[in-house]
Amino acid sequence: MKDIASSADLWPIGAMTNAFDVTARTLRFYEAEELLHPVRRGTARLYSARDRARLKLILRGKRFGFSLAEIRELLDLYDLGDGQATQLAATREHAVEKLAAMERQRAELDDAIADLRSQIGEIEKLLRNKTAPAPATLEPDGSSR
Amino acid sequence: MKDIASSADLWPIGAMTNAFDVTARTLRFYEAEELLHPVRRGTARLYSARDRARLKLILRGKRFGFSLAEIRELLDLYDLGDGQATQLAATREHAVEKLAAMERQRAELDDAIADLRSQIGEIEKLLRNKTAPAPATLEPDGSSR
DNA sequence: AGTACGTTAACGCAGCGTAATTGTGA
DNA sequence: CTCACAATTACGCTGCGTTAACGTAC
């Protein structure tokens, strides 16, 4: 019998470092932190498509400032356990909370973006009529919104 | 002559710590990091409305994970210098880049939010028909989109 | 006006806690 | 390559001892 199953899309650590531009050391570190769970063939690590998907999420999470702890929590939400209803319900709760937090974060980011946009507008205004005195920036108490 | 001008909305450090819930130590630290530039009366720090607006931006920036270095850059964009046209144009360039970066960040956050939403959908599907085996999560290569 | 006293804050530099690697020697 | 553990680096403060300036009360 051909042994197709054993090479079923499992990547060794070197392939991972090439594909994702992380060091092997870091992959082992993530494993120690329980973010990844490659299977072993003997002592060598083999990463499945699922591991690769998880790594992708990890790296994305890092890019916008989530800590590894937060990322682990997120990943756990994606790992539906054995499907016990109560367990699932708890996971759903947790996910909904996390979602709300992320949406708040996006709202703040939107505010910051809007502020920066209007600041660019101010700069361009100054550039157009290069004579006006135009002192103020940052309104005293831009306040609520 | 009444000395109205001297009390022109300048807050001592204690007022700041109360209003913003930061320690005096932290305010001094931010000053050392050139994020704030309170004026001095003698040796005492006095914070203007502009300083307060900046602090507000600093705290918001922190809330969504910007480093102090990034925040300082942002603040600098809000500080239009003496209005030299070339200088202004450079500032505008910089601001536009920063804006693009923030928009990329928001796009990634949107992706993460969408992923989490759909994951919640999956969980709820499982909760509805509590019999299905339903193994998979995290598509092998969710990829480009 | 002078002065005592309590509060508030300045200074400065070492140290701390966490997070995320990274190095090392086997 | 593996493992376990120590060391490092970056960040963001934080503690603390000491001194100085104020503000009100007498």
Q: Which residues of B touch A60 (CB under 8 A)?
A: 108, 111-112
What digits encode the pLDDT tens for the residues B9-64? 999 999 999 999 999 999 999 999 999 999 999 899 999 999 999 999 999 999 87
| Res. B137: pLDDT tops 80 | no
What digits encode the pLDDT tens for the residues A88-111? 999 999 999 999 999 999 999 999
Q: For residue B30, how many C-alpha atoms fall within 13 Å in the half-sphere facing its CB?
A: 29
Q: What span, in angstroms and rounded, lies between the C-alpha atoms of A34 and A116?
A: 39
DSSP A21-59: T--HHHHHHHHHTTS---EEETTEEEE-HHHHHHHHHHH
**CB-contacted nucleotides of strand D (7 Å):** 1-3, 11-16, 20-22
Band (B107; pLDDT cuts 50, 70, 90): very high
pLDDT of residue A133: 58
Q: What span, in angstroms and rounded, lies between the C-alpha atoms of B71 and B108?
A: 20
What are the per-10-residue average pLDDT scores of chain A (145 residues)? 61 96 96 96 95 95 89 89 83 93 92 95 89 55 38
Per-residue CA distances from A58 to A27, A44, A55, A70 (Å): 11, 22, 5, 10
As a three-state string, the secondary structure of A98-137 is HHHHHHHHHHHHHHHHHHHHHHHHHHHHHHHCCCCCCCCC
Band (B84; pLDDT cuts 50, 70, 90): confident
Count interface pairs A-B at CB distance under 8 A: 154
**Using alpha carbons only, what angle is made at residue B112 by residues A108 and A102, rounded to the nearest 5 degrees?**
35
* A68 CB and strand C closer than 7 A: yes
Q: What span, in angstroms and rounded, lies between the C-alpha atoms of A11 and B69?
A: 38
| Res. B145: pLDDT tops 50 | no
CA-nearest residue to A102 within chain B is B113
* B60 CB and strand D closer than 7 A: no
pLDDT of residue A82: 67
A108: left (phi over 0), alpha (psi -120 to 50) or beta: alpha
With the C-alpha atoms ordered B105, B106, B109, B115, is the resulting torsion angle positive or negative? negative
Band (B7; pLDDT cuts 50, 70, 90): very low
A65: left (phi over 0), alpha (psi -120 to 50) or beta: left
pLDDT of residue A120: 95
Among all protein residues, pick the one whose CA is nearest to the C1' atom of D2: A43
3-state secondary structure of A83: coil
